[in-house]
Amino acid sequence: MQANVGGVDRIIRIAAGAVLVGLAATGTVGWWGWLGAVPLATGLMGWCPPYAIFGFSTCKMKS
């Protein structure tokens, strides 16, 4: 698996995922808040399956 999620994209995914999971854990939002685990995981791994399927990447290109 080659990284396909870059800097700003990773930060947004991790932050949004953590907020959703936190809200779900405290009961502020419903069960759907646990879906925040998906962007949290892809942000932490730096790899997103749909990005790989469609050949998309937000990582900077190495020269």
DSSP conformation letters of 20-48: HHHHHHHTSS-GGGGGGHHHHHHHHHT--
The answer as to whether 3 is a domain residue is no
The answer as to whether 47 is a domain residue is yes
The answer as to whether 40 is a domain residue is yes
* Tally of domains within the chain: 1
Question: For the whole model, what pTM was predicted?
Answer: 0.89
Q: Which helix (H) or strand (E) holds 50?
A: helix 49-54
Indicate if the pLDDT at residue 62 is higher than 70: no
The answer as to whether 22 is a domain residue is yes
pLDDT of 63 reads 52
Average pLDDT score over residue span 24-51: 96
The answer as to whether 44 is a domain residue is yes
The answer as to whether 62 is a domain residue is no
The answer as to whether 19 is a domain residue is yes
Indicate if the pLDDT at residue 1 is higher than 90: no
The answer as to whether 2 is a domain residue is no
Range of the domain at 16: 11-54
